[in-house]
Amino acid sequence: MDAFRLDGKVAIVTGAGRGLGRGIAARLARAGADLVVTGRVLGALDAVRREIEEAGGHCLAVELDVRDVPAIGRAVAAAAAELGRIDILVNNAGVNIRSPALEVTEEEWDQVLDTNLKGLFFCSQAAARVMMRTGGGAIVNLASTMSVVALEHRATYCSSKGGVALLTKQLALEWAPHHIRVNAVAPTFVETDMTVPVLRDPDARQKVISRIPLGRTVEVDEVARAVLFLASPAASAITGVVLPVDGGYLTQ
């Protein structure tokens, strides 16, 4: 068996309606996994579902705001009931509000931290409970280069992603005895809707690219392939790792 194949596995991807989440879901489906895609906009999820099914895969779309903890439990339970198991969880759902630290409001803080960190934790908890009943699994979190280094006007985002990096290690430690691996990928700037406000400005784009030794931003599928690796049997001895997918950003 190809160690990168996911045949017979069930994978949940949060925030899968667009951008990285959509690309990750498509990549896991091509590797043979049955998909459960979640997000706040059901119309966008239906488009992802159709795309996967037209390519020969199986996909279930579930509307979910990861800030709603009871809804997380219901969504995970519904996915497990429909497909019989959960083998992989990709915690991709995330938001970024750019604001100087002196101007961050409580509402902005709560929106970013509740989505990027709190939601990620409770999705992991709900999925892990199912995985423990079926022999284990793999959780892959979306961290960031801003899990490690700061960037101006990103107080909320850096705080949330720093938390993701350490939480990844904590859950890896606690759940290893249950055969659940927990890892993260840490991309730099990727061409998605979230980064458009920065990358469409020529000066800001040049500033970003000047920091990346490979001289370019990262493509969605480059992140998706790293997620696939960490979710697959090819990474069977890897847990607690935060893997940069950053073109060398963190070397400086």
pLDDT digits (tens, 9 = 90+) for 123-146: 999 999 999 999 999 999 999 999
Query: What global pTM score does this model have?
Result: 0.96
**pLDDT tens, position by position, 39-62:** 999 999 999 999 999 999 999 999
- Kindly provide the residue ranges of all beta strands, DSSP E only, lying in the chain, ordered along the sequence: 10-13, 34-39, 59-63, 88-91, 137-142, 180-187, 242-245
Q: Answer yes or no: is 39 within a domain.
A: yes
Q: Answer yes or no: is 252 within a domain.
A: no
4 Cβ contact list (under 8 Å, min separation 6): 31, 228, 229, 232, 233, 234
Q: Answer yes or no: is 245 within a domain.
A: no
What is the CATH classification number for the domain harbouring 203?
3.40.50.720
Mean pLDDT, range 192-206, rounded to an integer: 80
Mean pLDDT, range 212-227, rounded to an integer: 96
Q: Answer yes or no: is 214 within a domain.
A: yes
**pLDDT tens, position by position, 70-114:** 999 999 999 999 999 999 999 999 999 999 999 999 999 999 999
- What pLDDT sits at residue 1? 56
Q: Which domain holds residue 125?
A: 10-237
Percent of the chain's residues with pLDDT above 90 = 91
Mean pLDDT, range 202-224, rounded to an integer: 92
pLDDT band at residue 238, thresholds of 50, 70 and 90? very high
**pLDDT tens, position by position, 136-186:** 999 999 999 999 999 999 999 999 999 999 999 999 999 999 999 999 999
Q: Answer yes or no: is 110 within a domain.
A: yes
> What rounded mean pLDDT belongs to the chain?
96
Q: Answer yes or no: is 213 within a domain.
A: yes
Least confident of 56-70, 117-131, 181-195, 224-238: 181-195
Q: Tokens in use for 182?
A: 């927990």
Q: Answer yes or no: is 248 within a domain.
A: no
Which of 157, 175, 189, 249 does the annotation list as catalytic? 157
Residue pointed to by tokens 């040049």: 206
Q: Is 157 a catalytic residue?
A: yes
C-alpha dist (Å) from residue 241 to 31, 133, 160, 172, 183 = 22, 24, 17, 9, 5
30 Cβ contact list (under 8 Å, min separation 6): 55, 57
C-alpha dist (Å) from residue 210 to 28, 185, 201, 218 = 32, 22, 14, 13
Residue pointed to by tokens 């705001």: 65
Q: Answer yes or no: is 1 within a domain.
A: no
- CA–CA dist 22, 13 (Å, integer): 8
- What pLDDT sits at residue 246? 97
How many distinct structural domains can be found in the chain? 1
- What pLDDT sits at residue 237? 98
